[in-house]
Amino acid sequence: MNILVLGSGGREHALARSIADSPRTDRLFVAPGNGGTAAFAQNVPQLSIEDGQAVLAFAQREDVQLVVVGPEAPLVAGVADALRQAGIDVFGPDAQGAQLEGSKTFSKRFMERNGIPTAAYGSFTDAAAARGFADQLGAPVVVKADGLAAGKGVVVAGTLEEAHAAIDECFSGAFGQAGAVVVVEECLTGPECSMLAFVSQGRALCMAPAQDHKRAFEGDAGPNTGGMGCYSPVPIVSDDELAAMQRIMQQAAEATAREFDHDYRGVLYGGFMLTPEGPKMLEFNARFGDPETQVVLPRLRTDLVDVLQAVAQGRPDDIRLEWADQWAVGVVLASAGYPGAYRKGLPIAGCDEAAQLEGVTVYHAGTARTADGGLVTAGGRVLCVTALGDTFEDARACAYSACTRIEFEGKQFRADIGERAARGRHAWGE
């Protein structure tokens, strides 16, 4: 069948790559796509992916039978609603379900109603009240803009002065409407861990956990980013914690079936903190993670198109997930200056050489093709180099070996992806 993937990042390259490998895929479109997807799919750079009617018109014109929505913004904008109403299968929740990510207040209230363990919180439209609640909680405290803020708008404040400044920044209009409501919550402690699940008809088919590295620099220093590297599974997660996370994800899936007007059909991403009291939910996302997708999908042995279509059609009983008994480690290569200002259009060399290493896949994120077919940088996170290995150490070593083969001016990456987890749980002071 003909399939359309919406998005342009490493997550979408990973999705498109697995879709392209399926014998069930005929024509594959990626809108807008990137320099990597251009090699095996038709990029559609002119399509406005947050415009449901425009996406629908394209899908009808090109006889697309399945649309896979990558980023959160089209989901919150209701693109899935427009497609489903027209009878086109779509992987991704409708606008109501996407509010689990689109509004932190909506999400926290959902957790509260359904007994999902999470941090104590308050939601505010007034700066003075928000500051007062932060004072009541005491530092450290977390301040979040309620809406989508392009990965920004979240501050872990070490002092009350920092918390007050973060609250004032939100209400100043720095994040537009996303900051019109502010969530203030207690700061949980412990390692963070992500668990993604395919959700349909109130069932959660959980994937292996993954652990992202958000900070820009080694030793978890520097500003937060979209993610500088990831691995899956997570060696520090105990069997009891794994079972608890799976129970919580199923609990959340059942709640979507009870509460939402339409069936939640897509990925539910649970961002957990492994606290001394057990796993607690930091946040939900309504789509695949990035770079989690780049380390989870390479281990999936089930045909991804079969899974995506079964979810989109509300057939979870038809899904049988099979996973490779291997470790996956992904290292992000970023532009100099990221997550701040950075240059674009710099030539990239060595991707093919890196991809020739056994078990290595080079996923493109911020890349583009020149008129003569050359590959250049086009974003902050440029590439994610993922390696599979029979052991955690093998996967890490292979990923970093591949990274040395790729060159572009100003290339930066963290050399310690997975290093802390390799030392064990005591590396988190436990």
Domain ranges of the chain: 3-94, 120-186, 192-428
Confidence class of residue 430 from pLDDT cuts 50, 70 and 90? low
Q: What distance in Å separates the CA atoms of residue 263 and residue 111, rounded to the nearest whole number?
A: 18
pLDDT at 377: 98
Distances (CA, A) of 70 to 104, 267, 287, 291, 390: 20, 10, 7, 12, 29
Res 395 pLDDT > 80: yes
Q: What distance in Å separates the CA atoms of residue 88 and residue 66, rounded to the nearest whole number?
A: 7
Average pLDDT, integer, range 296-309: 97
Res 151 pLDDT > 90: no
Average pLDDT, integer, range 300-311: 98
The CATH architecture assigned to 192-428 reads: 2-Layer Sandwich (3.30)
- How much of the chain exceeds pLDDT 70, in percent? 100
pLDDT at 224: 83
Average pLDDT, integer, range 333-343: 96
pLDDT at 273: 96
Q: What distance in Å separates the CA atoms of residue 368 and residue 377, rounded to the nearest whole number?
A: 6
Same CATH fold, 120-186 and 3-94?
no
pLDDT at 223: 85
Q: Mind listing the pLDDT tens digit for each residue in 37-75?
A: 999 999 999 999 999 999 999 999 999 999 999 999 999
Average pLDDT, integer, range 159-166: 96
pLDDT at 429: 77
Residues with Cβ within 8 Å of residue 140, at least 6 apart in sequence: 156, 157, 158, 159, 187
Distances (CA, A) of 257 to 157, 265, 328, 404: 36, 10, 33, 47
The pair of structure tokens assigned to 120 is: 């104590």
Average pLDDT, integer, range 300-321: 97
Q: What distance in Å separates the CA atoms of residue 267 and residue 327, rounded to the nearest whole number?
A: 22
Question: In this structure, are strands 154-157 and 28-32 parallel, antiparallel, or unpaired?
Answer: unpaired
Q: What distance in Å separates the CA atoms of residue 50 and residue 25, rounded to the nearest whole number?
A: 24
Q: Which CATH code for domain 120-186?
A: 3.30.1490.20
The pair of structure tokens assigned to 337 is: 């200056």
Average pLDDT, integer, range 378-400: 97
Question: For the chain, what is the mean pLDDT?
Answer: 96
pLDDT at 427: 86
pLDDT at 426: 86
Q: Mind listing the pLDDT tens digit for each residue in 187-214?
A: 999 999 999 999 999 999 999 999 999 9
Instruction: Supply the Cα-derived Rg of the chain in whole angstroms.
Output: 21
pLDDT at 330: 98
Average pLDDT, integer, range 144-159: 87
What is the domain class of 3-94 according to CATH?
alpha beta
Of 214-218, 246-250, 292-296, 343-347, the one with minimum mean pLDDT is 214-218
pLDDT at 14: 98
Distance, first Cα to last Cα, the chain: 50
Average pLDDT, integer, range 327-337: 98
pLDDT at 150: 73
Average pLDDT, integer, range 322-345: 96
Confidence class of residue 149 from pLDDT cuts 50, 70 and 90? confident
